Amino acid sequence: MSTELMSPLDPLELTVIVNKLDLHPHYSTPITESMAAVVADSTSTNPATSPSIRAAAASSDTASRARVVHQPDSGWLDDGSVLQQDAEQSLLRSRLRTATIVSLFCMLVFFVRSWFIEEPIVFLIRCFCLIITVGCLGLLSTPRKLATVELRRIEILLYGPLCALIASLEFIFLAKAGLAGNAAQQVEVVYSGTLGLAVMMLTYSMLMPNGWRRTAAMMVPPVLATTAVLWIARTILTPVAATIDSVRTAEVGLALVLTGIIATYGSSMISTLRREANRVKQLGRYRLKRELGCGGMGQVHLGEHQLLKRPCAIKVIRPGQVIDRAALARFEREVQTTAQLSHWNTIEIFDYGHTDDGTFYYVMEYMRGLSLADLVKRYGPQSAGRAIHFLGQTCWALQEAHDHGLIHRDLKPANIFAAKRGGVFDVTKLFDFGLVLLRGEGDNFLSVLNHGATTPFAGSPLYMSPEQAIGMKLDGRSDIYSLGGVAYYLLTGRPPFEGDSAWRVMVAHAKEPVTPPSRWNPSIPEDLEAVIMRCLSKEPEDRYASPHDLAEALRACKDAGSWNYEKAGDWWHERADEIDPTLLDP
């Protein structure tokens, strides 16, 4: 099986990594629903990437992060794997418990009836079966984990006596009607018993998660029981033999055989559908819980690592969703690029892989909170101190990317997240490196096209630098411009330029002067406005040379430090109910 996943860990290595996860602040965060659609729409970069992922950590700190290496793995969980066995045991136990409760309810109804109007022998038989059913329910309700063989024994203990009960009652009532010479009642007893067994057989096939072989085997006793009852009754009771002749006996047997065939086929179909459903909901070591969002490049699901029980966001491209090989290459490149970065303000990639059926996926941390775009849409322009708080953290994440020779090219409020991590709020996370450009890759429009990458116009026009808008050579200062646009939006609730088409906005970035943000929000401090305006300079050399320099300029503003994690905690606690109540969970 061709897969690209985390390499298998021996128990000692797993223990060391789990200990690191407990101590490492990176793993306290989990992408959220408000950003899932954005992540799902990730697009672009060089399609000429390798079909296998070889992401190496950029520093020793990466060793404590989830590793993305070229290593074959199991892809879909094998049928004999421990995880699948646990899931099958859990399902079998749940279905047995349901069947036991239903059987117990029916038996109690008939038990009360037999208490008043039926003979003592019938009452004793019902008591015996009732005791067995209660015992089965007790075993299934214990907290102890039951092995598959134990569950199968309970299964037989439940259905065996139930089949015997129906058959024995059929014989008793048939004999009673025969001795009384009541032919009509004899026929009624036979057909009632047959109907009871048929209902039991069909109910069994629907409830029990069995393959066709086991279901077929479990259909044999009811058929034989009825045949035996009729044969014995016809042999020892002449009135019964006169009424229930061989033709009628054959009809009953044939009806039960057909019922068994239908039950077996239905059980097989249900089992096949269940396996397919589990296959869809399971990727490697991860189980998909629910869809968070979808876009042109696939879906994003909330998932969980089955052993570590760690929540995560899983981006999936199913076979047939994306035919363009370049799109799949961009998908893979996004993973490769992000996996190189280890800063805690950059979203983490835990895993990557593809399965035999052509499904591509990668696993990232699941974050709770809001993107900066959603934050401003819902609560308006932010204070100067809080904007500096977000921008400063983003600068350091961006600085690491630039140190690796990566130009993000798609910095915008929707790609920066205000998350909760380790009990701390307003932790900034930078994500979506789908448009990343390597430094020196694509010196101009023609070289970018010849290089096989996306066009330099790829990106978000509202936050695009002038040189990116006109297809010129890009360097890290293009990201500085875009981050200045994010700052403008945070403080004013609007981007630096707006227009009725993407082309008009791109032209405005290239030619028109930026309106000072204080025109829209007079409370913006002069020193912070000067920093933003320098970021939004038309000429790259007039901007800050690096994210580090921009971070230092922000730190020198008088409002730097006026917003802290304590204030952020108070803000989120006041609004958690309307944003996401789980934000207050540990």
Mean pLDDT within 224-252: 88
What pLDDT sits at residue 85?
65
Q: Which of 236, 255, 274 is the last residue of a domain?
A: 274
Looking at the domain assignment, is residue 47 inside a domain? yes
Q: Is the per-residue pLDDT at 388 higher than 80?
A: yes
Provide the token pair at 61.
Answer: 């700190």
Residues 132 and 215 in one domain: yes
Q: How far is CA 252 from the centre of its chain?
A: 49
Give the separation between CA 399 and CA 338, rounded to whole angstroms.
Answer: 14
Please give the residue range of the domain that contains residue 456: 369-584
Give the separation between CA 560 and CA 420, rounded to whole angstroms.
Answer: 21
Neighbours of 67 (CB within 10 A): 20
Q: Is 410 noted as a catalytic residue in this protein? A: yes
What pLDDT sits at residue 355?
72
What pLDDT sits at residue 276?
67
Residues 302 and 422 in one domain: no
Q: Which residues of 504-527 are buried (b: 16+ CB within 10 A; e: fewer)?
A: ebbbbbbeeebebbbeebeebbee
Task: For the sheet with 369-371, list strands across it.
Answer: 369-371, 416-421, 424-430
Q: What is the CATH number of the domain that holds 290?
A: 3.30.200.20
Residues 87 and 126 in one domain: yes
Mean pLDDT within 511-534: 96
- Paired strand residues for 30: none
CA pseudo-torsion sign 215, 216, 217, 223:
positive
What pLDDT sits at residue 321?
56
Q: Which residue in this structure is represented by tokens 């695009």?
A: 464
Looking at the domain assignment, is residue 3 inside a domain? no
What pLDDT sits at residue 21?
35
Q: Is the per-residue pLDDT at 514 higher than 90?
A: yes
Give the separation between CA 101 and CA 203, rounded to whole angstroms.
Answer: 13
Residue bearing the bigger pLDDT, 141 or 111: 141
- Please, which pLDDT band fits residue 22 given cuts at 50, 70 and 90? very low
- Please, which pLDDT band fits residue 497 given cuts at 50, 70 and 90? very high
Mean pLDDT within 472-501: 95
Mean pLDDT within 193-216: 90
Q: Is the per-residue pLDDT at 450 higher than 70?
A: no
Contact assessment for residue 454 and residue 45, using Cβ atoms and an 8 Å cutoff: yes
Total structural domains within the chain: 3
Looking at the domain assignment, is residue 2 inside a domain? no
- Please, which pLDDT band fits residue 440 given cuts at 50, 70 and 90? low
- Paired strand residues for 442: none
Provide the token pair at 205.
Answer: 């096939």
Give the ranges where 340-469 is alpha helix by DSSP (H).
372-379, 384-403, 445-451, 466-469
Q: Is the per-residue pLDDT at 404 higher than 70?
A: yes
**CA of 315: how far to CAs of 102, 285, 293, in Å?**
41, 14, 9
The tens digit of pLDDT for each residue in 107-134 reads 887 777 666 666 677 778 888 888 999 9
Q: Which of 250, 274, 298 is the last residue of a domain?
A: 274
The tens digit of pLDDT for each residue in 299-335 reads 788 888 878 888 898 888 766 555 566 667 777 777 8
The tens digit of pLDDT for each residue in 542-568 reads 999 999 999 999 999 999 999 999 999
**CA of 447: how far to CAs of 451, 467, 478, in Å?**
6, 15, 18
Looking at the domain assignment, is residue 6 inside a domain? no
Contact assessment for residue 316 and residue 283, using Cβ atoms and an 8 Å cutoff: yes
Mean pLDDT within 223-232: 90
Instruction: Pick the catalytic residue from 410, 426, 479, 559.
Output: 410
Give the separation between CA 279 and CA 294, rounded to whole angstroms.
Answer: 20
Looking at the domain assignment, is residue 159 inside a domain? yes
Looking at the domain assignment, is residue 279 inside a domain? no
Residues 201 and 71 in one domain: no
- Work out the mean pLDDT of the chain and round it to a whole number: 79
Residues 526 and 555 in one domain: yes
Q: Which of 365, 381, 405 is the last residue of a domain?
A: 365
Looking at the domain assignment, is residue 179 inside a domain? yes
What pLDDT sits at residue 64?
36
